[in-house]
Amino acid sequence: MIPTIDFSAPRHRAKFGYLLLAPAVLLMAVIIVYPILLSVSISMQDVRIARIGDSGEPWTLENYQWLFGSGETWHALWVTFKLVAVVGGLSVIIGFATAMLVNQKFRGRAAARLFVALPWAVPEVVATVIWAWMLDSSFGLVNWVLLTSGLVSEPIAFGSNPTAAFAAVCFVMIWKGYPLMSIMLLAGLQSIPEEQYQAAKVDGAGVWQRFWYITLPNMLPVVGVTMVMTTLWVFRDFAIIHVLTQGGPLGATTTLSILTFEQSFEFFRMGQGAAVGVLTMVLCAIISRALVGRMAKSVH
C-alpha cells in the first residue's frame, strides 16, 4: 500500500510547497545556472569555437591573462562606465521630471502618461533601426533639421565621429530607457501619503523645500531600484549599439557586451568572449548588491 500524505496537515505543508517549487527550480537550473557554469568553464579553456558535449580543453587562465592585459578590455570598461553614468544619470533626471509632470492633475493626463511610456513599448531593434535612419549623416532627418535650422554648417557624421557616435548611442538609450524609470518613479510618487505634503505646507515649506525634504527622501528607495535596473540594462544592452554603430567608430561605443560579441562571434575566440562575459557578470553582481543594499538601508 502506498502511504498517503495529507499535504494540508501543518507538518506536511512545507513538503507540498517544495513540490510545487520543483519545476521552476529545475527550469532555472537548466536555463540559468547551467549556462553560467558553462560559460565560466569556456572562459577557462583555450577554445575558438565551443561545442557543447566536447571533452574540452584543459583548464587554463590564458583568457584571463588576455582579459586583464589587453587594452581592449580596459577601453570597453571605460566606455561602459561612461555610458552607465550618462544614460543612468540623465534618464533618472528625465524620468523623475516626467513622472512629476504626469503625476499632476490636468486635462489629458492619461494621454500624457501614454506618451511618456511610448518609447518603452516600441521594440528595441525597430526603434533603433528608425533612429539609425534618422541619424544618417547624408540623408537623415536629424541632420536635415540641424542644417535647415542653421544650428550646424555641415552634417554631423554620427557614423564616423567617435564623440558624435557616443552621443547618438547615449541619446537613443536614454530615449528608450527613461520611460521605465518614469513609470516606476510615478508609482513611487503615488505612494507618498498626501498628508505629508499637507503637514509640510502647514509647516511653511515651499515647493522646492517640499521636493527636497518630502519627495526626494521618500523616493530614494525607488530611485535606487530604478538606478540598479538601468545600470544593469546599460551594462548588458547589445541591440541598440549593435544596430546603431556596431561598437565603432574606433571602438568609441564598444561596451563590454559588444566586446563579448566581437570576441565570440566575429573573431571566433569564444574562450576570450566568455571571459569578458564572466567579468561583466561579476561587475553587475557587485554593483547591484552595493546599490540595493545601500538604498534600502539609507531610508527605512
3-state per-residue secondary structure call for the chain: CCCCCCCCCCCCHHHHHHHHHHHHHHHHHHHHHHHHHHHHHHHCCCCCCCCCCCCCCCCCCHHHHHHHHCHHHHHHHHHHHHHHHHHHHHHHHHHHHHHHHHHCCCCCHHHHHHHHHHHHHCCHHHHHHHHHHHCCCCCCHHHHHHHHCCCCCCCCCCCCCHHHHHHHHHHHHHHHHHHHHHHHHHHHHHCCCHHHHHHHHHCCCCHHHHHHHHHHHHHHHHHHHHHHHHHHHHHHCCHHHHHHCCCCCCCCCCCHHHHHHHHHHHCCCHHHHHHHHHHHHHHHHHHHHHHHHHHHHHHC
Which 215-234 positions form the footprint of other proteins (CB under 8 A)? 217-218, 220
Whichever of 8 and 104 has its CB closer to other proteins, that residue is 104
Using the rule CB under 8 A, give the single segment among 27-35, 84-92, 209-217, 242-250 that binds other proteins. 209-217
Q: Which of 214, 227, 256, 276 binds other proteins (CB under 8 A)?
A: 214
Pick 221 or 251: Cβ nearer other proteins: 221
User: Binding mask 184-203 vs other proteins (x if CB under 8 A, - otherwise)?
Assistant: ---------x-xx-xxxxxx
Q: According to the binding rule CB under 8 A, does residue 204 interact with other proteins? A: yes
Find the binder of other proteins among 11, 51, 107, 300 (CB under 8 A).
300
Task: Tell whether residue 212 is a contact of other proteins (CB under 8 A).
Answer: no
Stretch that binds other proteins, among 15-23, 87-95, 205-213, 279-287 (CB under 8 A): 205-213
Residue 209 lies near other proteins (rule: CB under 8 A): yes
Residues that bind other proteins (CB under 8 A): 193, 195-196, 198-206, 209, 213-214, 217-218, 220, 299-300
